[in-house]
Amino acid sequence: MNNKATFTLLITCPDRKGLVAGISEFLYLHGANIVHADQHQDGVLFLMRIEWEIKGFDLSLFDFRHAFGPLAAKFGMHWRIEESGSRPRMAIFVSRYDHCLVDLLYRHRSGELHCDIPLVIGNHAETQDLAAFYGIPFHLVEVEKGRKEEAEALQLQLLRHHDIDFVVLARYMQELSGEFVSEYPERIINIHHSFLPAFHGARPYHRAFERGVKLIGATAHYVTDMLDEGPIIEQDVIRVSHRDALPDLIQKGKDLEKIVLSRAVRWHLENRIIVTSGKTVVFD
C-alpha cells in the first residue's frame, strides 16, 4: 500500500476511445500526482482503478464529486471515490469455529487491516472470551429454529446502531435471508470452505473426502440471496492425498480459509474490487 494519503477512483462504463485520456487530463489539470493506475476491458465494458496523492490536489472530496460529474456523464460512468485515511467500520459474525476470527482480530491489531471493528456478533458464546481479549464488544444473538427473522432484526439493529459499513462472516454457520443481504449489497464477505463451485453448501470437507479429491480449497465471496453463489473475490487450494484422513483435510482447510478471507477483506478495504455481471475484477 502507498503510505501517503491518497484518493482512489473506481470506474465502470462502456468502453470507448478517449476514456483514459479524459480521466488523466482531468486529474492533471487539478494537480494530481498519480501513484497507481490500472484498467481492464471486459468485452464492451471499461473498468479502471486510479489512485493519486491528496497532497497538491486542488479538489476536496466534496468538490471532486461536482467537478468530475460532467466528464462522468459524458462517458456514462458508474464511479465512486474513496480516501485512504477513512476507516470503514467492520462487523464480524461468527459461530463456534474461531480460527478465522482469531486471524482477523490479530491482523487488525497488527495494523494490517485499516478499519475499525466496533463489535463481534456470535450465535454461540464460545468466542466471547476471544473477542474480549482483543477488546472488542461481543453480542450473543442466538438463532433459534423458526425465529431467524427475530434474530436478524436484532442483528440489523446492532449494525445500524454502530454505523457498520460492511460485514464479514468468519465461518458464521447460518444462511442470511435475502432481506438481510439487501441491507448490505456487495458489503458482506463470506468464507466458504471449498473451492467453489465444487462442494457448495454444508459439510464440503466431508464430501471432498468421500470423493477422494487431490486438491481442497477455500473461497471468499460477496454474499447474495443465493447460497454460495455470490461474486468470488479470492480462492486458493492445497494438495491432499490418500494418506490424509478427514481431520487432516479440515486442518489444512482451516489454514487456507484464514489466508483467503484476510486477503478478501484487505482488498475490500483497499478499494481494489469492482463487481460486474456477477463477477469481480480485483486490481492488484
| CATH number of the domain that residue 78 is part of | 3.30.70.260
Q: Which three cell numbers stand for residue 15?
A: 468502453
Reply yes or no on whether the pLDDT at 52 is more than 80: yes
Length of the chain measured in residues: 284
HSE on the CB side for 12, CA within 13 Å? 13
Q: Which CATH number belongs to the domain containing residue 258 in this structure?
A: 3.40.50.170
pTM of the full structure: 0.94
Does 1 map to a domain?
no
How far is residue 115's CA from residue 129's CA, in Å, rounded to a whole number? 22
The yes-or-no answer on residue 129 being catalytic is no
Residues 243 and 269 in one domain: yes
Per the structure, how many domains does the chain have? 2
Average pLDDT over residues 147-175: 97
Res 2 pLDDT > 70: no
Identity of the residue numbered 140: L
What 8-state DSSP symbol labels residue 75? H
Out of 129, 228, 236, 255, which one is annotated catalytic? Answer: 228
pLDDT digit string, tens, across residues 189-234: 999 989 888 888 888 999 999 999 999 999 999 999 988 899 999 9
Contact 170, 100 (CB under 8 A): yes
- In the DSSP assignment, the letter for residue 59 is -
Residue 202: its pLDDT value, please?
Answer: 83
113 shares its domain with 167: yes
The domain of 29 spans: 6-83
* Number of neighbouring beta carbons within 10 Å of residue 145: 5
